[in-house]
Amino acid sequence: MTTRMINSSAFRRGFRAMLPLWLGAIPFAIAYAIAAQKAGLSPLETQLMSLTVSSAAAQMGIVQLLAVGAAPLAIILTAVALSLHHVLYGLSLSKRLKLSWLDKATTAYFLTDAAYGLIIAHESNETSAFLLGAELSMFVVWNLFTAFGVLLGHIITIPADAHLDFVAPMTFFVLLVSLTKTRLALAVAIIAAAITWICLTLQLGSATVFIAGLGGAFMGALLAERRSLPESAVGSTS
């Protein structure tokens, strides 16, 4: 089997692996498109944001700030804060995958939480072709249903009590459960959940995502390092 055939197979596998997560993306893409137009964005601006930002959390955050007339600097800082965890994803992927500079630029642009989760779910997924397939799968559905929301938003009514905000967390909770296969992964999940609870109690808002992600990643790296040390070394550091 040639390298091109292997890459093609991995790409298709990555694209298909993302299909179950489309169910979480579709309602959010439609809701974003409707909210963006109500906030004053034109159809072109609404679609352009999905093509360039391609992030449910960041786009919803931007739209909400636009709706209340927030300052441009506040909007930019919020978008950056909601996307900072992608830096951690990039650092993690750079250690797991052999990527050329072109691969890095391409996969960095299309990177999403779900695509990263699928990569680390199993070692067989750790190829640039699988990653790109998973990324483009989500990119296609996000933009397709953004356009759907733009075109049909005037006849689609989303009840005020629909609470679509549960869809994305529930989607990624299901993904998290599938990834939690070791005691280390379970410990990291518990730590991240505890940090999230503390941040929410302190009403830290959107910074919660960044703090919990960074804290969970740091503690995970620390626990993994301690596990890799010989028992004598661990005892000496205690």
pLDDT tens digits, 46-97: 999 999 988 887 888 888 888 888 888 888 888 887 777 788 888 888 888 8
Domain count, the chain: 2
pLDDT digits (tens, 9 = 90+) for 169-228: 555 555 566 556 667 777 777 888 888 888 878 877 767 767 777 777 777 777 777 765
Residue 40 to residues 28, 48, 71, 128: CA-CA distances in angstroms? 18, 14, 15, 38
Q: What is the mean pLDDT of the chain?
A: 78
Tokens 């689609």 found at: 156
Q: How many residues does the chain have?
A: 238
Higher per-residue confidence, 152 vs 14: 14
pLDDT number for residue 128: 87
Residue after which a domain boundary falls, among 131, 163, 195: 163
Q: Are residues 141 and 209 in the same domain?
A: no
| Cβ atoms 49, 147 nearer than 8 A | no
Which of the four pLDDT bands, split at 50, 70 and 90, describes residue 231?
A: very low
Q: Are residues 127 and 27 in the same domain?
A: yes
Q: Are residues 41 and 10 in the same domain?
A: yes
In a domain, 175, yes or no: no
Residue 125 in tokens: 């997924």
Q: Are residues 127 and 190 in the same domain?
A: no
DSSP state of 154: T
In a domain, 81, yes or no: yes
**Integer Cα distance of 15 and 136 in angstroms:** 7
Q: Is the pTM of this model over 0.85?
A: no
Which residue from 237, 159, 137, 227 is spatially nearest to 187, judged by alpha carbons? Answer: 227
Residue 177 in tokens: 């459960």
Identify the domain containing residue 84 by its residue range. 3-163
Q: Are residues 216 and 142 in the same domain?
A: no
Residue 22 in tokens: 């489309």
Q: Are residues 131 and 24 in the same domain?
A: yes
Q: Are residues 128 and 225 in the same domain?
A: no
Q: Are residues 126 and 215 in the same domain?
A: no
Residue after which a domain boundary falls, among 135, 163, 191: 163
DSSP state of 155: T
Residue after which a domain boundary falls, among 118, 135, 163: 163
